[in-house]
Amino acid sequence: MSIFTPEELVSTQQDNVSSIFALANHALYHFQKLVELDLPAVKSALAEGEANWQETLSGNASEDFLTSQVNVAYRAPGR
């Protein structure tokens, strides 16, 4: 014998599905906001990396190459 009637079971499952999709939409919204915050940082890092490589590759002597690599290492975040 079942504790729930089929109608109660269907109603409960519909509520559960609605809750799951509401939570998923909420999580996706906040993930999108996080990506929007990180996007300028990623673009900046890529531009800086490209500039560093262009600077490095423009050096003619191996000493210039090593100096530019040391400079890049000391400009790295966290230093």
Residue 60 covered by a domain = yes
Instruction: Give the chain's end-to-end CA distance (angstroms, integer).
Output: 69
Half-sphere CA count of 71, side-chain side, radius 13 A? 13
Q: Count the domains in the chain.
A: 1
Residues 28-57 pLDDT 10s: 999 999 999 888 988 999 998 888 778 777
Give the span between the Cα atoms of 39 and 60, in whole angstroms.
34
CA atoms of 4 and 10, how far apart (whole Å): 10
List the domain range (segments joined by +) for residue 55: 6-75
More confidently predicted of 20 and 70: 20
Q: Is 5 left (phi over 0), alpha (psi -120 to 50) or beta?
A: beta
pLDDT tens across 58-72, in order? 766 667 677 777 777
In a domain, 1, yes or no: no
